Amino acid sequence: MSTIARRVAASPVRTASEAWRFITELLSKPDSSGRAELVAVTGIACSLIADECFKGAPAVVTDSGPQVRVYCVYVEDAIDGTNVNENALSFDATEGDWKMSLPCREEDLDWVAASLKKKSSRITARDMDGDGGVTDDRAAFLNQVEVNVEGFLNS
């Protein structure tokens, strides 16, 4: 599975709602059902962006294509553009059988998860300090590799 990362400038360059609107437009096409679901969770997502949950942990979108990770960049880095990458995607990340997980502080996880469940079956919350579906292709590959040490040493 390939992975694409985007880093969106948030506060103080954008308000949380402006950052979520940008993320929504980045991930989905106009008038798509995916965009409608992203818009439906705007208030919840904005609270997570304002709480800087997207700083070290990304929103993760998975479907049949590449995994998309969206981080937010804050303060000086947002102002000067350090590590900001807002390039458009060449595909609709919310097309097909997609799912999204949003990073959340552990103490807020219960209410955020319950609120998201009322608005979307595809968008969930996860503890921002866990991996929550963020995979490292190399680690996944190495976990599947078996080395025949005897055969290697005899060759």
Helices (H), 92-148: 109-119, 137-144
**Tokens coding 116:** 């998201």
Query: Which of 58, 61, 4 minimizes the C-alpha distance to 37?
Result: 61
Residues 58-68: pLDDT tens digits?
Answer: 999 998 789 99
Residues 67-101: pLDDT tens digits?
Answer: 999 999 999 999 999 899 999 999 999 999 999 99
Q: The domain containing residue 114 runs over which residues?
A: 3-153
Least-confidence region, from 6-10, 22-26, 29-33, 102-106: 29-33
Residues 16-33: pLDDT tens digits?
Answer: 999 999 999 999 999 889
* Res 147: pLDDT: 54
12: exposed, middle or buried (Cβ count in 10 Å: 0-12, 13-18, 19+): exposed
Prediction pTM value: 0.83
Which helix or strand (DSSP H or E) is residue 5 part of? strand 3-9
The model's confidence at residue 110, banded by pLDDT at 50, 70 and 90, is very high
137: exposed, middle or buried (Cβ count in 10 Å: 0-12, 13-18, 19+): exposed
**Tokens coding 27:** 């991930």
What's the number of domains the chain is made of? 1
